[in-house]
């Protein structure tokens, strides 16, 4: 079962839904979607778009992230956070989702444990943890 809880939907002038996801952060850097860890935000957006399409809704390929950035440039906190809002668009591509879900299902149905992948952060964590445990005896 694939599901999610979308933050918001906007409707464009022709009736298409645009998925909107709200994010909060606190950084002095310019807000962007280019950071490595923000790739998960894009995946989340695309899954939401795919889910709405699966349920028969007209969905725009463009979704939006509304970032509330708590500024760090005030001299004192004084019990207040001041936010600057940024809206970033993302052109979603959902053609990868069904093949990925089928691969996941095949893996879950398989009796074979997959081999670790060098590009997988979880495999790296698991390998590192096993090495640390074996060194302790």
| 28 located within any domain | yes
Half-sphere exposure of 48 (CA within 13 A, CB side): 26
Tell me the pTM.
0.79
pLDDT digits (tens, 9 = 90+) for 19-46: 999 998 888 788 888 888 889 999 999 9
Res 127 pLDDT > 80:
no
Tokens of 10: 């906007």
pLDDT at 106: 94
Structural domain for 38, as ranges: 8-136
pLDDT at 37: 81
| 95 located within any domain | yes
Q: Is 92 exposed, middle or buried (0-12, 13-18, 19+ CB in 10 A)?
A: buried
Distance from C-alpha of 101 to C-alpha of 88, rounded to nearest angstrom: 27
Higher per-residue pLDDT: 103 or 113: 103
| 52 located within any domain | yes
Helix (H, G, I), strand (E, B) or coil at 50: helix
| 124 located within any domain | yes
Specify the number of domains making up the chain: 1
pLDDT digits (tens, 9 = 90+) for 51-100: 999 999 999 999 999 999 887 666 666 777 778 899 999 999 999 999 99
Give the list of residues 6+ apart from residue 9 with CB closer than 8 angstroms, or none.
17, 18, 19, 20
- Asked whether the beta carbons of 62 and 92 are under 8 A apart, the reply is yes
Distance from C-alpha of 85 to C-alpha of 54, rounded to nearest angstrom: 31
């Amino acid at each position: 079962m694939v599901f999610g809880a979308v933050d918001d939907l906007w409707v464009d002038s022709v009736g298409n839904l645009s998925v909107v996801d709200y994010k909060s952060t606190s950084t002095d850097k310019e807000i962007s979607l280019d950071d490595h860890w923000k790739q998960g935000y894009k995946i989340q957006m695309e899954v939401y778009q795919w889910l709405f399409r699966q349920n028969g809704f007209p969905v725009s390929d463009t979704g939006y992230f509304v970032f509330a950035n708590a500024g760090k440039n005030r001299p004192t906190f004084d019990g207040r956070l001041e936010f600057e809002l940024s809206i970033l668009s993302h052109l979603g591509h959902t053609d990868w989702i069904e093949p990925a879900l089928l691969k996941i299902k095949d893996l879950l149905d398989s009796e074979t444990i997959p081999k670790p992948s060098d590009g997988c952060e979880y495999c790296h964590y698991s390998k590192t943890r096993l090495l640390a445990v074996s060194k302790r005896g």
